[in-house]
Amino acid sequence: MRFSTGPSEHSWQPVATSKTNAAEYWLNWRVLICSVWVLSSVVMAGILIWKYEGSTPAGEDGGEAREEPVGTVYDDESWRPCLKEIHPAWLLIYRAIAFLVLLALLITTVAAKGGEMFYYYTQWTFALVTVYFGIGSLLSIYGCYGLLCKVDDDRAGCVGPEAENAPRNAEDTSWYHRGKRSQSQDAHLIRRPVAGFWGYTFQIIYQMNAGAVMLTDCVFWLIIVPFLAIKDYSLNFFMIGLHSVNAIFLLGDTALNSLRFPWFRISYFFMWTVAYVIFQWVLHASLPIWWPYPFLDLASPYAPVWYFLVAMMHIPCYAIFSFIIKSKDLVISRLFPQSYLHFN
């Protein structure tokens, strides 16, 4: 069944209730308060990013031990699985399959509905998850290539991750132990290369997706679907896929990867939502069209309350994913204490 793009008795697309491109729509106290909420989110997110994002790794500075900054991302974390027994090639295969499936679903949906699908926050997030797996596949290829270079004693012409610290023979597998920090380990003796631009970008997109996927899928399945059931609206393949496959693949990648999940990067999640809100504001200031989500409508006297509540929803949605990662950390570290590479 095709999703109807126009209002009908079986469509959940709302009808425009006011002329959004009129001056009186924007020049009022509701817009002012909502703008304060949006601006406050940007300022707080900017402060967190400026304070914590990207620093030098742990080591010695003038003979004194230097703690590892919370924003540090190491080069191998983007492609190394969380268990030493799992070869990075398996993570590569998983990410490649996820990327191809998500890309195919995205292209099919665009072909069926057109570019207007990106009118929704859900499609923005789905596209971002697709980009995540695309970049992740390339980084996994990079990591696997580096490991192949290490196995070969004659590494002439091979430039891969941690090449300078590569083991000389097959029996030397100590490179895996660099990921497992312990109190008895001399951190200053180990020099793990810090991630470059793409490593940090991949980490940031991962944490943006974590919150955004939880937000979109929880709202859809817990709020919108019951509402559609009351309206006797049947879900189709596209709607189910866009609100489930991305979360399934992202959770699967989380189970396999060794990426960190510091709380300060919730700031990027806020920035992602702010970008969508500003996009909607600019669009509605230019065209008198309906809002994709009724709670974004600035004509409502409750708009400031809705905007505040949506902003607050980011925290529990992000916390849900953080809890999932901590649970994974606890369970796997107990089941495989000698094999689990603990980065968080």
Q: In order along the chain (344 residues), what is the average pLDDT of each group of 10 residues? A: 39 66 92 97 96 66 64 92 93 98 92 86 95 98 88 54 44 41 43 89 97 89 73 69 88 95 96 97 92 90 94 95 94 87 62
Cα(284)–Cα(282) distance, integer angstroms: 6
Handedness of CA 110, 113, 118, 124 (dihedral sign): negative
What confidence tens digit (pLDDT) does each residue in 206-239 have? 999 999 999 998 878 877 777 666 666 666 766 7
Q: 270: Cβ–Cβ under 8 A, 6 or more apart, which residues?
A: 41, 42, 44, 45, 311, 314
Specify whether the CB–CB gap between 35 and 260 falls below 8 A: no
Would you call 291 helix, strand, or coil by DSSP?
coil
Cα(342)–Cα(344) distance, integer angstroms: 6
* Token reading at 72: 């540090």
Give the CA angle between residues 93, 97, 103 to the nearest 5°: 145
How much is the pLDDT for 259? 95
Cα(210)–Cα(206) distance, integer angstroms: 6
How much is the pLDDT for 59? 52
Tell me, what DSSP letter sits at residue 257? B
| Domain locations along the chain | 23-335
How much is the pLDDT for 148? 86
Residue found by looking up tokens 């230097």 in the block? 66
How much is the pLDDT for 49? 95
Tell me, what DSSP letter sits at residue 6? S
- φ, ψ for residue 144, nearest 5 deg: -65, -35
How much is the pLDDT for 149? 84
Report how far apart, in Å, the C-alpha atoms of 227 and of each of 17, 121, 223, 290, 310 are. 20, 18, 6, 19, 18
Specify whether the CB–CB gap between 168 and 153 falls below 8 A: yes
Cα(127)–Cα(118) distance, integer angstroms: 9
* Token reading at 252: 């699967």
How much is the pLDDT for 117? 84
